[in-house]
Amino acid sequence: MTGYLATLSHLLQVDLNRAGVPLLEIVSEPDMRNGIEAAEYAAEIQRVVRYLGISNGNMQEGSLRCDVNVSIRPIGQSEFGTKVEIKNLNSFSSVNRAIDFEISRQVLLHSQGQGNSIVQETRLWEEGAQKTVTMRKKEGLSDYRYFPEPDLPEVILKKEYVDSIKNSLPELPEMKRRRYENMGLSMQDVLFLANDINVAKFFDATIAKGADVKLATNWIMGDIAAYMKNEKVSINDIKLSPRELAELIASIKGGTISGKIGKEILFELIEKGGTVKGLIEEKNLVQIVDPAEIEKMVDKVLSENPNQLEQYRAGKTKIQGFFAGQVMKLSKGKANPGLLNKILQQKLNASS
């Protein structure tokens, strides 16, 4: 347990505000070679503690802290160089930049024949100046003023107890990424979905309801992610449920509604909740799949736009998109796109 002295008016108090709060300290092996490796290692630890639900892992709040030790050695030398500790790292990007700066600083000193000036010390990362500066020098453990606590007994954990905990662990980030890869998702999709435990849970629940894996991924990474970013909310804050996203995907895939209508329904579900079937019935959004009805709308649009029709038949074929848009507008977005384009193509290419 650590604490510090706090001066209040004429009083001197000992602040032990973290008393009773468990501290989990993880010490890595000295096997990372640059800042990006260390930053990713720390980011993975953050993902793990969030998956386990033992901490929010927010570095900016101090829930997750990271100190780094940097030393260099010439190629072929087995003995480690002098270790320098760096503190004041409150983001993964700070970890990355601080390590790379310190490596460069030590390499420069060695190249100038000043390797002996690298001493065991604690340095502070200055974000504004993008450099490390000396905070305090220390030679050994005694400088930390730590001493063993004689009244603490050994904690002995039986193998059966450790195994029971191991077997009760949830699916961790690495396992989840591998499972998503086996589903055929791209690495970009895998990393996005597995990065946030709540997004991963939403995705898993959606496909558990029968949604197509790739389509569910596209909706979550596309419109849903964009909404969350714009509104600065998490996936737990939206009112859309995995069940209704699966139902929305099925309704579009089955031809009940168009993709355009699907997007409109999606945002209403995100903001207000409700059901896909309820909104389709309430707003009369069922897709028009009757060829005769679509043909009438196509004829109406063509008759109302003779100049554009003449341009198309004169070789300006790109104008077909204009006609399709007008028909879709007339149908209030409900015309089946495939059937619409087929009928429109036939009409446009018919002899005048």
DSSP track, 277-317: HHHHHHHT-PPB--HHHHHHHHHHHHHH-HHHHHHHHTT-G
Cα–Cα dist 260/262, whole Å: 5
Give me the half-sphere count of Cα atoms (radius 13 Å) on the Cβ side of residue 350: 9
Question: Which domain CATH number covers 306?
Answer: 1.10.10.410
Per the CB < 8 A criterion, the answer to whether 285 and 257 are in contact is: yes
Based on the domain organization, do 235 and 326 belong to the same domain?
no
Q: Give residues with Cβ within 8 angstroms of 259, minimum separation 6.
A: 252, 337
Picking from 188, 195, 169, the residue whose alpha carbon sits closest to that of residue 43 is 195
Residue 14's pLDDT is 84
Residue 122 within a domain? yes
For residue 233, the SS3 value is coil
Residue 106's pLDDT is 96
Based on the domain organization, do 41 and 97 belong to the same domain?
yes
Residue 4 within a domain? no
**Domain residue limits at 321:** 291-349
Based on the domain organization, do 117 and 39 belong to the same domain?
yes
Picking from 325, 330, 329, 351, the residue whose alpha carbon sits closest to that of residue 341 is 325
Residue 2 within a domain? no
Residue position matching structure tokens 């340095």: 123
Based on the domain organization, do 307 and 333 belong to the same domain?
yes
Based on the domain organization, do 249 and 335 belong to the same domain?
no
Residue 286's pLDDT is 84
Largest CA distance in the chain: 101
Residue 10 within a domain? no
Residue 138's pLDDT is 64
Domain boundary among 283, 311, 338: 283
Residue 303 within a domain? yes
User: Which H or E run contains 269?
Assistant: helix 259-272
Residue 73 within a domain? yes
Based on the domain organization, do 193 and 135 belong to the same domain?
no
* Six token digits for residue 260: 């355009």
Start-to-end C-alpha separation, the chain = 89
User: Which H or E run contains 15?
Assistant: strand 11-15
Based on the domain organization, do 102 and 203 belong to the same domain?
no
Based on the domain organization, do 249 and 298 belong to the same domain?
no
Based on the domain organization, do 48 and 126 belong to the same domain?
yes
Q: How many domains does the chain have?
A: 3
Domain boundary among 257, 283, 309: 283
Residue 277 within a domain? yes
Edge-to-edge order in the sheet of strand 131-137: 68-70, 84-87, 121-126, 131-137
Q: What is the DSSP string of 242-265?
A: HHHHHHHHHHHHTTSS-HHHHHHH
Cα–Cα dist 229/117, whole Å: 48
- The CA dihedral of 340, 341, 343, 348, to the nearest 10 degrees, is 130
Picking from 99, 74, 77, 79, the residue whose alpha carbon sits closest to that of residue 89 is 99
Based on the domain organization, do 98 and 182 belong to the same domain?
no
Per the CB < 8 A criterion, the answer to whether 224 and 235 are in contact is: yes
Picking from 179, 182, 207, the residue whose alpha carbon sits closest to that of residue 194 is 179
Residue 62's pLDDT is 86
Cα–Cα dist 121/55, whole Å: 30
Based on the domain organization, do 126 and 187 belong to the same domain?
no
User: Which residues in the chain show pLDDT less than 50?
Assistant: none
Residue 162 within a domain? no
Based on the domain organization, do 36 and 137 belong to the same domain?
yes
Picking from 273, 266, 216, 209, the residue whose alpha carbon sits closest to that of residue 239 is 273
Cα 115 to chain centroid, rounded: 42
Cα–Cα dist 215/206, whole Å: 10
